[in-house]
Amino acid sequence: MSDLDVVNLFIIAGGTLAIPILAFVASFLLWPSALIKVYYWYWRRTLGLQVRYADCGGYRFCYSYRGKPGMRPSILMLHGFSTHKDTWLTVVKYLPKHLHLVSVDMPGHEGTTRTNTEDYSIQGQVRRIHQFVETIRLNRKPFHLVGTSMGGNVAGVYAACYPSEICSMTLICPDGQSLYVRDLEHSNYTLNIPLIPTTPEEMEDMFRLCSHVRFKIPQQILQGLVDVREPHNTFYQEVFMEIVGEKSRYALQDHLHLITAPLQVIWGKQDQVVDVSGATVIAEVLPGCRVDLLENCGHSVVMERPCRTAKLILEFIVLQQDARGGTKKSS
């Protein structure tokens, strides 16, 4: 092989490597929203999660799952306002692969059906989630229910309405109490909702509001996140108005006394969205519940403390299952 052939070989090899690199750079700079979607797809694939759809009476739920029902109870995870099932990827990473995990897009969010006539109040969402549970037959035996923020509100009311289906549950910074959203209840919702950003700057402000840990996020990614959310902002505003309205605002607080399943509450001490005193409110109504307050952590517990969150949830599930086993043996 001549020196010229060797040079040509290096040029061809270099060009071949440069193409995907240039494509990545172009995507990052020009289509950051597409890159974000690819990122979630890759992460789901890496963690062994599969995406499926469940249809019921013309309504379609989108969900991801991993594992099969086994000795431990299945875990159903409900995300918060204006997010999606992939919110839980950070926690799933630290949960054992043999557990049966299900994460569903909440009504109207991401891949789940959105209609103009849908009831997006907390009670309306509870009915839809129950429909989903029945469709995939998750309630063939009691399961562990986890919810964060709005999803925590829905989870709590769900447990109160369908107690026989829940063996234990975890609420993470749930809304739906008299203290509700800090600093937002005195603002004009129709003019500016901090949880519905429309610019990269507002997106950065939302991260500061929701997270005590400061993440350095490139401007292109912030823009990509805005681009992904922007087509849904009218819907998010509709849902927000529903969950802060009289019908839903105190939904969790009004149903707490009906919860019979063992309850775990996880809350970031520096939560700026829903005040951490909500944990005390819950404990006063349900004194047997377990409360874990996380230092140097805000509202986005799942994002800020994923490993700690996964460990606490798993410990609680095992503890409750062992307690039930001991009760059966003694009887």
- In the DSSP assignment, the letter for residue 106 is P
In a domain, 14, yes or no: no
Domain that holds residue 159: 48-330
In a domain, 9, yes or no: no
In a domain, 18, yes or no: no
Residue 26 scores a pLDDT above 90: no
User: What's the pLDDT at 30?
Assistant: 45
How far is C-alpha 282 from the chain's CA centre? 21
Residue 295 scores a pLDDT above 90: yes
User: What's the pLDDT at 127?
Assistant: 97
Average pLDDT over every residue of 189-199: 78
Structural domains of the chain, count: 1
- Active-site residue flag, 168: no
- Residue that wins the pLDDT comparison between 116 and 48: 48
Please state, for a pLDDT cut of 90, what percent of the chain lies above it: 73
Average pLDDT over every residue of 32-51: 91
Q: Please compute Rg for the chain using Cα positions.
A: 22
- Active-site residue flag, 149: yes
User: What's the pLDDT at 179?
Assistant: 52
Residue 180 scores a pLDDT above 50: no
pTM of the model: 0.88
User: What's the pLDDT at 277?
Assistant: 94
Average pLDDT, the chain: 87
Q: Side chain identity at 28, as an amino acid letter?
A: F
User: What's the pLDDT at 21?
Assistant: 42
User: What's the pLDDT at 268?
Assistant: 97
Distance CA 180, CA 122 (A): 14
CATH of the domain at 75: 3.40.50.1820
Strands (E), the chain: 50-56, 59-66, 75-78, 101-104, 143-148, 166-172, 263-268, 290-294
- The size of the chain, in residues, is 331
Of 271, 275, 292, 300, the active-site residue reads: 271
In a domain, 24, yes or no: no
Residue 294 scores a pLDDT above 60: yes
Residue 155 scores a pLDDT above 60: yes
Per 3-state DSSP, the chain is made up of helix, strand and coil in percentages (nearest 5) of 50, 15, 35
In a domain, 31, yes or no: no
In a domain, 15, yes or no: no
Of 74, 82, 103, 149, the active-site residue reads: 149
Ranking 23-27, 94-98, 200-204, 272-276 by mean pLDDT, the lowest is 23-27
Residue 40 scores a pLDDT above 70: yes
| 210-265 pLDDT per residue, tens | 999 888 889 988 998 999 999 999 999 999 999 988 889 899 999 999 999 999 99
In a domain, 293, yes or no: yes
**Backbone torsions φ then ψ of 298, nearest 5 degrees:** -100, -145
User: What's the pLDDT at 324?
Assistant: 82
Ranking 49-53, 234-238, 321-325 by mean pLDDT, the lowest is 321-325
User: What's the pLDDT at 178?
Assistant: 58
Q: Is the CB of residue 206 less than 8 Å from the CB of residue 195?
A: yes
User: What's the pLDDT at 116?
Assistant: 86
Of 64, 212, 299, 300, the active-site residue reads: 299
In a domain, 224, yes or no: yes
Residue 7 scores a pLDDT above 70: no
